[in-house]
Amino acid sequence: MFLVLGLIATFITTCIGYLVTSQRTRAVDGLHGYNGFLVGMGIGYFDAQLTLDRTDWVQFCRLLLPVLFTSVFCSLIHFTLSNMKSPPFTFAYNISLSCWLAFAVSLGQSSIYCPIFTSPRAPVVDDTILIEYDTIDFGWFIKAVLAGVGQVFFAPELTSSIIILSGLSLGSPLIGILCFFGASVGTGVAVITHSVKWMTELGLDGFSPVLAAVGLGGFYFVPSATSFIYMFLGSVFCVAVRHIFSGLFVHPSGPAETFPFCFVATFLYLAAVSIGWPTMVPHKFLSFPERHFQISDDIKMYNSAVP
């Protein structure tokens, strides 16, 4: 059901982007739909009734109206942020979903839209149990890394995480490598800093580093040694920043969503603009990393021609 809500929101935001903006190729390329997909999935994922009973079609229908309004709001935010100097990243998803969750919380626990922020599938929901070196092994680490990749799409289970990583690798092998690298760095930092164990097991310390690795490693920058340095720094900082944003916008204990990735990536992107390297990919050239590498000369010529 989460997936269906995500697809509905993607359809809404893509149609709005195609009909409202003059650059319709962006909508065709999915640049107006990716935030919508996360919004739809997030509304379903954090809904208490739908999380506990995934076959509750009555609740599914109730959520269609919030998905509609939140998707429209998400599109408006995305259009506004697209005019900024830095990429919009997933700010539109974060802001619009946070607004919906804050409203849902304000309705009270008796509301049909009451959200839940602690997954019932959490192995041990106890914030006092921290990661200790003598309690983990290589198998645990790999499962946590894969959960970080799957958590990007609200699917931290082992099977779904493997399917997601395989699908990403099939479309772009480099993206698959970057995803695994980002999740590994995030999980490694969580282990070193003794993060809360169940959060790391669910991929909450890994999914923002995944986005940072993909965004900075080869999507918004042409893949290079320098972009990989930015990618590593972004993946490391995202783990620390997650603890700052957790519960900051939605009380009590609201999710950090992808705010850590957005803020870290924005600062690093603006730093790269000031320094002049690595090579930034303009919106009109955005594609998969392998393609960026192939047309890097065209991108450099375009950047040098633009004042």
Tens digit of each residue's pLDDT (9 = 90 or more) over 271-299: 988 887 888 888 778 888 888 888 888 77
Q: Comparing 15-29, 94-108, 125-139, which segment has the lowest mean pLDDT?
A: 15-29
**Residue 253 confidence (pLDDT):** 77
What percent of the chain has a predicted confidence (pLDDT) above 70? 92
**Given this model, what pLDDT does residue 211 score?**
95
Q: Name the 3-class secondary structure at 110.
A: coil
pLDDT band at 28 (very low <50, low <70, confident <90, very high): low
Q: How far apart are CA 144 and CA 185, in angstroms?
A: 11
Handedness of CA 69, 70, 71, 74 (dihedral sign): positive
Residue 19: its pLDDT value, please? 83
pLDDT at 108: 87
**In the chain, what are the domains?**
2-106 (no CATH), 133-298 (1.10.3430.10)
Closest CA to 236 of 201, 184, 165, 195: 184
Q: Which of 120, 113, 114 is nearest to 61 (CA)?
A: 113
Q: Note the pTM of the prediction, 2 decimals.
A: 0.89
